[in-house]
């Protein structure tokens, strides 16, 4: 992919194209030249979003809190994105999808974008690509980015 392709994706994402947002996040997760191009574009266009981190022990209520925040922000008409960071599957390397049942009410809401991301062996509860993914969501025009670990 060329820098021009990444720029076209970023323009489409900023215009509300959810598929372009997903493609940019996939580029960032894969790493390499495409990730650097997407990250540089996002960095230049980001800085306006509120980023909220939600973390805790299993069963502490992270998904419940995330869902409540989503509901409150949406009741105010805010667009919200969620990065749900999960451990990696030892078989596929992808995210082991955690308890997302509480966010199902918001999954079909056009004002909400939810993306699960695998840690891919990175320690500390976050994926290595998390900071760039937050910037992509910010640059795509989401004023709120919730990061749940």
Q: Which CATH superfamily is domain 3-148 in?
A: P-loop containing nucleotide triphosphate hydrolases (3.40.50.300)
The terminus-to-terminus CA distance of the chain in angstroms comes to: 30
Residue 97 pLDDT > 70 = no
CB 128 within 8 A of CB 35: no
Contacts 24+ apart (CB under 8 A), 88-94: 88/118, 88/119, 88/120, 88/121, 89/118, 93/118, 93/120, 94/118
pLDDT for the residue numbered 89: 46
Domain boundaries, the chain: 3-148
Q: How far apart are the C-alpha atoms of 14 and 24, rounded to whole Å? A: 11
pTM for this entry: 0.87
pLDDT for the residue numbered 102: 57
Query: Residue 96 CA to chain centroid, in angstroms?
Result: 16
């Amino acid at each position: 992919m060329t820098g021009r392709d990444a720029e076209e994706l970023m323009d489409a994402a900023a215009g509300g194209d959810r598929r372009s947002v997903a493609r940019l996040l996939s580029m960032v997760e894969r790493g390499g030249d495409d990730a650097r191009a997407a990250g540089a574009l996002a960095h230049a266009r980001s800085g306006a979003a509120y980023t909220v981190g939600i973390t805790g022990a299993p069963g502490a209520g992270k998904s419940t809190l995330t869902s409540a925040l989503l509901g409150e922000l949406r009741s105010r008409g805010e667009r919200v994105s969620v990065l749900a960071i999960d451990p990696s599957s030892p078989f596929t390397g992808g995210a082991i999808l955690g308890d997302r049942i509480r966010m199902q009410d918001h999954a079909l809401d056009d004002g909400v974008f939810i993306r699960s991301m695998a840690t891919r062996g990175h320690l500390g509860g976050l994926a290595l690509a998390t900071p760039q993914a937050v910037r992509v969501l910010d640059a795509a025009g989401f004023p709120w980015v919730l990061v749940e670990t």
